[in-house]
Amino acid sequence: MKQVFLTGATGAIGSALAPLYLDEPDTHLKLLLRAKRGRALTDRLADLGRFWGMTEDDSRWLRIEAVEGDAALPRFGIEADVYARLSRSTTHIVHCAGAVKMTLPLEEARAHAVVPAEATLELADRNREAGVLEKVEIVSTVGVGGRTPGLIPERPMPEVTSFHNTYEAAKAEAEGVVFARWNDLPITVHRPSMVVGDSSAGRIIHFQVFYHLCEFLSGQRTSGFMPSLVGATLDLIPVDYVAGAIHWSSCSPQTAGQVLHLCSGPRDAVKLPDLVSLIRERMLASGEELPQIRFLPLSAFRVAVPILGWLSATQVRRALGNLELFLAYLDELQTFANHDSRALLEPAGLCVPAPDLYLNTVLDYYQQRKGQAG
C-alpha cells in the first residue's frame, strides 16, 4: 500500500497533485497543513475538498489524513508521536511547499526553502532506515539559474552565486542541501517555471505571480507606459503538466538522481509583446477599459515608475513598488533547457502543451474570477 506524505497541498502545484494520488485506489495521502489564524485543520481540508469537488461522502476522503504542522519548522513542526508514525510508514515523500515571495529577508526565505528541504531529507532517512521508502520528489524552481544569461541547464548548478532575489537564493541553497544527498536517497528534483492554471479549464487554487504580472502587462497600473519588450520571453507552464510530471516521477524509480525542468523551454516560451497583446485582448473582451500602450526604453521606464506610483492610489502604488522584481529579469535574456526532460516525459504521454492551446482559457478563467481568490 502506498503511503504518500505531501507538503504544500494548499498551493498551486500541491492542490493539483493530490487528486492524482487519490485516484489511485490503494494510496493513502498524508497532507501537511498549517492551521493558520486559528482555523481548525478540518476547515482547511474542507476548503481543499471544495476546490477538488469532493465531499466527505466521497470514498477517496477516507484515504486522506490531515497532519498539523508547518513546513518552515524543523521536522515540519509535527507532534512527536505523529512524526514517529510517519517515520516508519511513508513510502513516498513529495515536497511542494514554499513561499513564492521575492521580497522576504534572506533568513525568512531560507526558513521557507532550506529548512523544509532538510526536514524532507530527515524524514526520508528515517523511512529508508525503516525499509519502506521508495521515492522522494522535491519541487524547486528554474529560478535557481539566478542571473546566469542564456540557456539554464538541466543539472545541479553550484557555480551560480548571483540571484535576482532572496527567493531564488534560498531555493538554490536548498538544492545544495538536497544534492549533497543525491547518491544515497532516491530523489528527483523538479524545477517548474512560472505556473499558470490548468490547460483544460484554466483552474488554479490561488492567483499568484503570473496573474499579478497580467495587471502590469495590460498597462492598467502604469497608465499605459510599458518598457520595450523586444526579444524578451516568459516561460509559462500549466499546473496540470507540472502535477502530472511529479506524479509520474514518483511512480518511476528510474527518475531518481535527475533534475527535471518542468517548463515550456526555448521552443514554447511566450514572446512578451505577444503576451501583452493577448492579455489586453482578453481584458477588453471582458469589458475592461484599458489605456493605450506607450513603449519606453527600459532605463526610461525605470525612472517613470516612481513618478507613476506617486500619482497612483495606495494599492497600485504598492504593486508598482514590486515591479522592479520583474524588470530585473529583462536585464538578461534567459531561457530554460528542457530537452532531456521532454525526452523522458513525452513517452509517458506528458507533452508540454503549446501556449496557444491554453493561454486564452487561463486568462479567461482569471478574468471571470479575479477579486474572488487569493
Span 161-214, pLDDT tens digits: 999 999 999 999 999 999 999 999 999 999 999 999 999 999 999 998 899 889
Q: Is the pLDDT of residue 13 over 50?
A: yes
226 and 133, same structural domain?
A: no
Task: Specify the 3-state DSSP secondary structure of 192.
Answer: strand
* Residue 365, in any domain of the structure: no
Query: Assign residue 8 a region: left if phi > 0, alpha if psi is -120 to 50, beta otherwise?
Result: left
* Residue 374, in any domain of the structure: no
88-131 tens-digit pLDDT: 999 999 999 988 888 899 999 999 999 999 999 999 999 999 99
179 and 71, same structural domain?
A: yes
The confidence score (pLDDT) of residue 36 equals 65
* Residue 304, in any domain of the structure: yes
The confidence score (pLDDT) of residue 40 equals 82
The confidence score (pLDDT) of residue 1 equals 86
* Residue 79, in any domain of the structure: yes
DSSP string, 45-63: HHHHHHHHT--TTSGGGGG
CB 126 within 8 A of CB 312: no
77-100 tens-digit pLDDT: 999 999 999 999 999 999 999 888
DSSP string, 296-353: E-HHHHHHHHHHHHHTS-HHHHHHHHTHHHHHGGGGS-EEE--HHHHHHHGGGT--PP
300 and 259, same structural domain?
A: no
* Residue 202, in any domain of the structure: yes
352 vs 240: CA distance, rounded Å: 10
Q: Percent of the chain scored above 70 by pLDDT?
A: 95
108 and 23, same structural domain?
A: yes
Q: Is the pLDDT of residue 307 over 90?
A: no
Task: Specify the 3-state DSSP secondary structure of 240.
Answer: helix
**Which residue has cell 502545484?**
13
85 and 37, same structural domain?
A: yes
182 and 198, same structural domain?
A: yes
285 and 177, same structural domain?
A: no
CB 33 within 8 A of CB 66: yes
Average pLDDT over residues 285-294: 91
243 and 197, same structural domain?
A: yes
CB 159 within 8 A of CB 124: no
* Residue 98, in any domain of the structure: yes
The confidence score (pLDDT) of residue 100 equals 87
**Count of structural domains, the chain:** 2
Which value, in Å, is the radius of gyration of the alpha carbons in the chain?
Answer: 21
Q: Is the pLDDT of residue 68 over 70?
A: yes
Which grid cell sits at 161?
Answer: 552565486
218 and 113, same structural domain?
A: no
220-277 tens-digit pLDDT: 888 888 888 888 899 999 999 999 999 999 999 999 999 999 999 999 999 999 999 9
Q: Is the pLDDT of residue 299 over 90?
A: no
CB 374 within 8 A of CB 206: yes
Sheet with strand 27-33: strands edge to edge: 64-68, 27-33, 2-7, 92-95, 135-139, 187-192, 258-262
Q: Percent of the chain scored above 90 by pLDDT?
A: 73
Residue of 32, 29, 36, 37 whose CA lies nearest to 54? 29
Q: Is the pLDDT of residue 333 over 70?
A: yes
Domain assignment of residue 47, given as a range? 2-206+235-266+334-353
Q: Is the pLDDT of residue 354 over 90?
A: yes
The confidence score (pLDDT) of residue 180 equals 95
* Residue 323, in any domain of the structure: yes
Which segments of the chain does DSSP mark as H helices, in order? 12-22, 41-52, 80-86, 106-129, 166-179, 209-217, 239-250, 265-268, 272-285, 298-310, 314-321, 323-327, 339-345, 359-369
* Residue 372, in any domain of the structure: no
**pTM for this structure?**
0.94
217 and 124, same structural domain?
A: no
Q: Is the pLDDT of residue 38 over 70?
A: no
Tell which wins on pLDDT, 255 or 302: 255
What's the chain's average pLDDT?
92
The confidence score (pLDDT) of residue 280 equals 95
176 vs 154: CA distance, rounded Å: 15
86 and 220, same structural domain?
A: no
61 and 41, same structural domain?
A: yes
